Amino acid sequence: MELQVTVIIPTYNGPDWLSRTLRCLCHQDVDPKAFEVIVCDDGSSDNTKEVACSFDSRLDLRYCYQPDRGFRAGTARNMGIRLARQEICAFVDTGVIVGEDFIRSVVDFHRRHRRAACIGIVHGSKMRDGTHPLVRYFRQISISEHPEQCLKSPMLRAYPDARQPIFDLWGHDLNRGSAPWSLYWTSLVTVETAVASEVGYFDEGFVGWGHEDIEFGYRLWKHGVRFYTDDRIRGLHLPHEQAAPPEATSKKNLAYFYSKHRELPFEMLQLDLPYGLDLVLPHLYMGVEMLPRDYETLDPGAFMPADGKTLLVGCLSPESAKRLQADAICAIGRETADCIREACPDATVEDRLGAVHPCGDKHYDVAVVTDIWRILPAELLSAMLNELDRVARRVFLFRSESLELGELPIPPAPRMPDGCGMETVWHRGDLTVYGLTIRREERPAGVPDVAGGQATG
């Protein structure tokens, strides 16, 4: 039996843009019975319903509505998933223009890849300038009866998907990267309907713009779904007015995301880093393999208070955790975290770096950082040290003199961040323990750099 597709289009007060997407679907080069369309209205107050329903003689189309209680795109998509009658769900944002071979290409993809998700290529996915010459050019075509002709223009090459460098790096098989789920932007993606149900649909706790799609993608990934691109499954996004500016709720939703998944990838998403997950995650995983693990010569009692709450950052072995009697432990790698958790059942153990902490100021009496700080790029090191200074009364940094770092994807910070100082509190053999000091005015001279030697002032 041939696979069939349910196209799910969430929409809100955008009837003109909705009509462009629906006109594209009217001109598909397959039997109209091969797919259905569900328009999921997130509380529109204009003529969106009338525009949607005006296509029901040309498409197998259903319209559903939910009250306007804020931007709830994930909840809107869930209405479509629950109503879907076909085996494949294709999520297409309002205003995205697809080619006449869209449905045929989706069916062919899922015939070749079972329990897989396709991440469509969306030209102009991050374009915000509505006055750009290319935007004006494509907009003129998009208002015609055949907006799908935009996809045949050679000008598309000059209007790329913002994710194209990552697509070029990994090719069609995005599973070669560390975080393929982070590319699952629902402007144009697909997944099997049954699998969407198995992972529990989109999380309806996301209200406002952003991150409900990649959180859904993450749960698909943990469920064993594979992620691919397909050159034939592509669309065009043209800038248009948004009901809710992305900046207004993106941070709130990202914090909610992190509260659900207290894990390393989502911690990195919290930070404004100049590199993506496909670079920083391999960097950290490679870097920790170069670091010491047990610190057998360490005497915590020589420099740590007898009582108090301790946070251990960069823990790589149960022995270190036991030696420091930490209450909270940040460990890189799920297997490492599981091993430490089993050995230290009374401690809170999480698979993350320790650069973002949702707790209040001075929540910990002591934060102890292993040599992990020495592999961190400058921006990440600065973020982590400033955050630890916020949440702990004292911060101690380990430094193993014999440590030699190999080549890493991102160069580690060549010195301590401006304003950060270190004072020796304990030393034995190869290991020195420093106390962190934060000076907001200027960085003191003579602070040891990360790689070795002395930093300049």
**pTM reported for the whole predicted model:** 0.85
Residue listed under structure tokens 């290529």: 121
Specify the pairing of strand 88-92 against strand 226-228.
unpaired
For residue 453, the model assigns a pLDDT of 37
For residue 293, the model assigns a pLDDT of 92
Q: Is residue 449 pLDDT above 60, yes or no? A: no
User: What's the Cα-to-Cα distance from 276 to each of 183, 212, 359, rounded to whole Å?
Assistant: 11, 18, 25
8 A C-beta contact, residue 398 and residue 366: no
For residue 281, the model assigns a pLDDT of 94
How is residue 132 written in tokens? 């750009």
* 1-48 tens-digit pLDDT: 578 999 999 999 989 999 999 999 999 999 988 999 999 999 999 999
For residue 70, the model assigns a pLDDT of 84
For residue 258, the model assigns a pLDDT of 85
Q: Does domain 5-260 have CATH number 3.90.550.10?
A: yes
pLDDT band (50, 70, 90) for residue 454: very low
Using CB atoms within 10 Å of the CB of residue 352, give its burial: 0 to 12 exposed, 13 to 18 middle, 19+ buried. buried
pLDDT band (50, 70, 90) for residue 251: confident
Of 22, 28, 37, 186, the residue nearest 104 (C-alpha): 28
Q: Which of 326-330, 398-402, 405-409, 446-450 has the lowest mean pLDDT?
A: 446-450
8 A C-beta contact, residue 259 and residue 205: no
Q: Is residue 382 pLDDT above 80, yes or no? A: yes
For residue 246, the model assigns a pLDDT of 55
Q: Is residue 442 pLDDT above 80, yes or no? A: no
Residues 27-46 as b or e (16 or more Cβ within 10 Å = b): bbebeeebbbbbbbbbbbee
pLDDT band (50, 70, 90) for residue 317: very high
Give CA–CA dist 15/238, Å, rounded.
15
For residue 381, the model assigns a pLDDT of 96
Q: Is residue 249 pLDDT above 70, yes or no? A: no
Using CB atoms within 10 Å of the CB of residue 246, give its burial: 0 to 12 exposed, 13 to 18 middle, 19+ buried. middle
Report CA dihedral (385, 391, 395, 398) to the nearest 10 degrees. -60
For residue 455, the model assigns a pLDDT of 35
Mean pLDDT, range 93-119, rounded to an integer: 96
Mean pLDDT, range 288-310, rounded to an integer: 92
Q: Is residue 447 pLDDT above 50, yes or no? A: no
**Topology of 279-438 in CATH?**
Rossmann fold (3.40.50)
Mean pLDDT, range 243-263, rounded to an integer: 75
pLDDT band (50, 70, 90) for residue 149: confident
8 A C-beta contact, residue 253 and residue 212: yes
Give CA–CA dist 100/358, Å, rounded.
48
pLDDT band (50, 70, 90) for residue 82: very high
For residue 444, the model assigns a pLDDT of 41
Percent of the chain with pLDDT over 70: 92
Q: Is residue 300 pLDDT above 50, yes or no? A: yes
pLDDT band (50, 70, 90) for residue 130: low
**Where exactly are the structural domains of the chain?**
5-260, 279-438
For residue 153, the model assigns a pLDDT of 85
Q: Is residue 241 pLDDT above 80, yes or no? A: no
For residue 395, the model assigns a pLDDT of 97
Residue 124 CB contacts under 8 Å (≥ 6 apart), including other chains: 134, 135, 138, 159, 160, 161, 236, 237, 238, 239
Q: Is residue 91 pLDDT above 50, yes or no? A: yes
pLDDT band (50, 70, 90) for residue 443: very low
Using CB atoms within 10 Å of the CB of residue 3, give its burial: 0 to 12 exposed, 13 to 18 middle, 19+ buried. middle
User: What's the Cα-to-Cα distance from 168 to each of 162, 229, 279, 284, rounded to whole Å?
Assistant: 11, 10, 14, 23
For residue 446, the model assigns a pLDDT of 43
Residue listed under structure tokens 């300049």: 456
Q: Is residue 63 pLDDT above 90, yes or no? A: yes
pLDDT band (50, 70, 90) for residue 451: very low
